[in-house]
Chains A and B, each alone.
Chain A
């Protein structure tokens, strides 16, 4: 069974704080993804990584950065959190097949 875990289920941060969201997968997958999910907008891709230290911007990368130092771990960083980054953040991983496996999500509230 593929397992994708995220460091926190719920987070409350203040405007301007630097926020780290961590994602770990245990299936040796090359590809990892960060999405945010907002009502009425579906899932939108923020960044993805296709190998260690390799990354590409998704559709909405502004205000975010990522880090992939090890194959199993993909971190999303909010450099200076803003209220419009309040959202559900979902991490996913994919191996050689087409299926993306999602983590449980982190609900972030920025005050």
Chain B
């Protein structure tokens, strides 16, 4: 089982719809969770971080974390064509010597069509 797993997609949604991106992780003691967005040919950029169970909202983005189910998701409301990108889920490895090492999922390709 992969440590961090995402549906690779592609996920295609119409403009204005809600895009839902999902991620599961295998290590129950993981503590910090991140969503990075990567445009084609560019490097990843952080868009959301979440550390405790529940929802965290930032503009059109909502991150949801359920530690009991080992599940983290990203909702994008009112999707725009400019949201078309690969979305990477990342999880911090626990432990004092981890130095903030991240484990990434393989990424979900999102396409928002007009």
A90 touches B107 (CB 8 A): no
Interface range for B: 20 to 34
Which one of B32, B34, B100, B101 has the greatest number of beta carbons of chain A within 10 Å? Answer: B100
B102 touches A100 (CB 8 A): yes
Residues of A contacting B: mostly: strand
B34 touches A45 (CB 8 A): no
- Chain A, residue nearest B42 (CB): A104
Interface residues of A in 51-103 (CB under 8 A from B): 56, 58, 90, 94, 98-103
B43 touches A33 (CB 8 A): no
B104 touches A98 (CB 8 A): no
- Chain A, residue nearest B100 (CB): A94
Residues of A within 8 Å of B, CB-based: how many?
23
B42 touches A33 (CB 8 A): no
Which A residues are in CB contact (< 8 Å) with B32?
98
Instruction: Judge if A41 is at the interface, Cβ distance under 8 Å.
Output: yes
- Chain B, residue nearest A30 (CB): B99
B102 touches A102 (CB 8 A): no
CB proximity of B96 to chain A, nearest CB, Å: 11
Partner of A90, one of B4, B44, B106: B44
Instruction: Judge if B70 is at the interface, Cβ distance under 8 Å.
Output: no
- Chain A, residue nearest B107 (CB): A42
CB proximity of A98 to chain B, nearest CB, Å: 6
A102 touches B49 (CB 8 A): no
Which B residues are in CB contact (< 8 Å) with A56?
97, 99
Binding site for A on B (CB under 8 A): 4, 8, 32, 34, 42-46, 49, 88, 92, 97, 99-107
